[in-house]
Each structure stands twice: as structure tokens, then as C-alpha cells.
Amino acid sequence: MTFDEAAASPVRIGVAGLGRAFVLSRTAFVEDPRVRLVAAAEPREVSRQAFLREFGGRAYETIDDLCADPEVELVYISTPHEIHFDHVCKAAAAGKHVLVEKPLAISLSDGIRMTDACAAAGVHLLVGPSHSFDTPVQMARAIILSGEFGRVRLINALNYTDFLYRPRRPEELDTARGGGVVFSQGVHQVDIIRLLAGGLARQVCAYTGNWDSERPTEGAYVAQIAFDGCIASMTYSGYGFFDSDEWMDGFGELGARKDMQAYGNARRALKARGAASEMDLKAARTYGLPDKPSSPETYEHFGPIIVSLEKADLRLTPEGLHVYAEDRREFRPAPPFRFSRSEMTAAIHSAVRLGRPPAQSGRWGLASLEVCHAILKSAAYNAPVRLEHQVGANDHV
């Protein structure tokens, strides 16, 4: 096979965990001819059957069988945080490339062992898709790298959601087991900010909020991150009554038009669950069951973000960038939207077929996880926290 033929053949992917994350990433696997789903591992029968109906291939009960499948080249690990360590290590031991959902792991020590295992096996480890993959974020990064408006100096990211009131597994509400908004949502903001500021965060100062005794984990935070020559601030509330998607041209996080009539739905559904347990509500949002996300019309986003360079401010929207420069103000539209998470499948193909991995490698994911831990530590000790595991955004090239 020639290099061109190899580059053109789809990357053969096996999925571990056919839950909510897979529902959100599914379209890209269906639409992008550069990848093909050939197998899955999932303990729930209903999702395995749905996979076989939609994709054919094989649907196993365990990750071990998936990793033994010779057709699988890359394993997409979309199982709960606490299993990422075991699943990444198994995939690496079987010689498979890996895309693992964010966050990389819960503990830093596990994260280090995972990145070491993939390096020793000579396989790519990608972490995501976080919202740092979103096309408008990549556009902002390209402007920063071009030098058109000088150096990046200040980044502000803000997000108000009802995250804490969407159906949750018990561990998602237990910080020690990776629960709370810092690990699941903070990591998106950290990834975006690190990518735009160059990756090498130096120090974190943060405060967290934990004020609903029925959902006893961090539901909010305010964090400041210092880089060399750039400062950043991120605020998140998962207790939101206000929804900051109102400020994103009416598009929700996943790029679909926001149904403003749905105001308060998450809290209402949780209160009205009656005999049905919260786990049943959560399970209803997984693959193979009727609850599907609305159709996206544009790129995903993670709330309002403003990037200040020496000679311009950039405001990110789901459809492109507003540029506020000294002598003009303009909108730079994103390329036409085709399907959601095309950035993720492009990154998979680029890494596995072309040998050009994205910035969001295992070491990158470890560095973002370190910032999440620093947020919790800084808030607990009311002190700044220095960082030791940071990598630059261009260190992979």
C-alpha cells in the first residue's frame, strides 16, 4: 500500500463505553470518512444491540475483548473517569492508539502512569474532545500564533450552566471520585486557556463554591492562572439559574439553537423523578435510548471567552471570532459548519495516519489535570499553588 493509500484508509476505531459522551461524539464517527467504528465494549445489552444495528462489527461486554480485536487500531475510551486508568493501560498494552475522554484520570499519579504506558508502547494518547478542539478556539490560536496582533496577555472565560442538576451517577457528585465541576467542566476551560496562552501555566489561585447539601461537591469556582506574560481568569457556576448561552448568539454548548422555553428543565426533571432513580434518568440519555441531543447548526462552545492581545481583543462565538482592533472592528467567520466534533476525528486521523498528533496529548491532559488539582488545593489551603507538570502547546511538533 502506498503512503497516499494508507493515509486515505479510515482509522478503525473501537469504543469503550456507549454512554452520554459517545452519544455526543457519535455523529463525527458516522459522518467522517477518515474514521470507521468497527467494535465496541459496553456492559449494557441495550447499547450493544444498538451499536450492532447501526454499525455492524462486534459489540463486546468487556474492554479486554475489545483490546484483543485485531481490526481495532484506536480505542476511544468514553467510560467514567475512574476507569480511564485501567482502560488506557489495557489499550496501550494491546498496542492500540488511544483517545480518552477528559479528564485524563482522577489522580496525577495515575495520569503519569498512563502517559508512560502509552509512550512505552509507542502508541498515540490523545485526550478529549475538550472544548479546546472547537474550531473558534483553533481560529483564535491561529491568530495568536500568526503574531498579527502581538502577544496574548489576558484571557477571561465564564460559564453559567445547570450542570449540577443534570442526572448524575453518585460518583459524579463525590469530589474524591472525580466528581464536581472542577474535574468535569473546569478541565474544558483549563484546556482552552492553556492552548491560547501557550500551555505553560505557572501558578493557580482559586476559590470553590459548594453550597447545595443535596449535591455535596464543588458546583462553582473562580480561578486565576498565571502564565509567563499572560494572566487568565475562569469562572464557572454549575448552579446556574442564569444560562450564559444567552450570550452565545442563542446557541447551546453543543451548537444547537437553545430552546428558551426549556428554562429550568434540569431542576424540574430532577425534582419530578418520583420513583425513577437518578441513575435511570442518566441512563435514559445514553446510546440506544430515545433521548437524543438536538441537531447542531454550528460549532460547539464553552461559554463566553475574551482573549486580549497587545493590539486587539478577540471574542469567541460558536460561528467565528469578533476582532476588536485599534482602528477597526470585524467578524471573522468560521469555515462552514459540516457536523459536530469533526475536529476530533480530524485529530485522530492526523495522529494515526499522518503522524501529526494534536496538542492535546497525554502529557497535555496531565498538565490540565494538574491545574484542576491546583484549583482544589488552592481553594482548600487559601494559597497559591505552583505547577510542575506543564507542557507547551507546541511541544508535540
Ligand X SMILES: NC(=O)c1ccc[n+]([C@@H]2O[C@H](COP(=O)([O-])OP(=O)(O)OC[C@H]3O[C@@H](n4cnc5c(N)ncnc54)[C@H](O)[C@@H]3O)[C@@H](O)[C@H]2O)c1
Amino acid (one-letter) located at 150: G
Q: Smaller CB distance to ligand X: residue 161 or 230?
A: 161
CB of 367 within 8 A of CB of 195?
Answer: no
Q: Smaller CB distance to ligand X: residue 42 or 370?
A: 42
Collapsing DSSP to helix, strand or coil, 203 comes out as: strand
DSSP notation for 45-87: HHHHHHHHHHH-SEEESSHHHHHT-TT--EEEE-S-HHHHHHH
State the residue number with the nearest CB to ligand X.
19
The alpha carbon of 29 is separated from its chain's Cα centroid by a whole number of angstroms, namely 16
H-state helical runs in the chain: 3-8, 20-31, 45-55, 63-67, 81-93, 108-121, 135-146, 181, 187-197, 265-271, 278-283, 342-354, 362-381
Nearest CA-CA partner of 144 in 333, 308, 334: 308
Q: Smaller CB distance to ligand X: residue 152 or 172?
A: 172
Output the smallest distance, CB 117 to ligand X, in A: 18
Output the smallest distance, CB 183 to ligand X, in A: 8
State how far the Cα of 74 lies from the Cα of 32, in Å rounded to an integer. 15
Output the smallest distance, CB 282 to ligand X, in A: 6
Output the smallest distance, CB 384 to ligand X, in A: 27
Output the smallest distance, CB 91 to ligand X, in A: 12
Nearest CA-CA partner of 370 in 355, 384, 386, 353: 386
CB of 344 within 8 A of CB of 78?
Answer: no
Output the smallest distance, CB 217 to ligand X, in A: 14
State how far the Cα of 84 lies from the Cα of 128, in Å rounded to an integer. 12
Q: Smaller CB distance to ligand X: residue 267 or 285?
A: 285
C-alpha distances in Å from residue 2, one per residue of 7, 8, 9, 129:
9, 10, 11, 30
Binding site for ligand X (CB under 6 A): 16-21, 24, 41-44, 47, 63, 78-81, 83, 101-102, 129, 169, 184, 286
Q: Smaller CB distance to ligand X: residue 60 or 149?
A: 60
Contacts of 355 (CB under 8 A, 6+ apart): none
Output the smallest distance, CB 58 to ligand X, in A: 14
Nearest CA-CA partner of 236 in 326, 145, 303: 303
Q: Smaller CB distance to ligand X: residue 43 or 147?
A: 43
Q: Smaller CB distance to ligand X: residue 17 or 362?
A: 17
Nearest CA-CA partner of 159 in 316, 335, 325, 380: 316
Amino acid (one-letter) located at 245: D
Output the smallest distance, CB 365 to ligand X, in A: 11
CB of 16 within 8 A of CB of 78?
Answer: yes
CB of 153 within 8 A of CB of 310?
Answer: yes
Q: Smaller CB distance to ligand X: residue 17 or 252?
A: 17
Output the smallest distance, CB 330 to ligand X, in A: 30
Q: Smaller CB distance to ligand X: residue 227 or 302?
A: 302
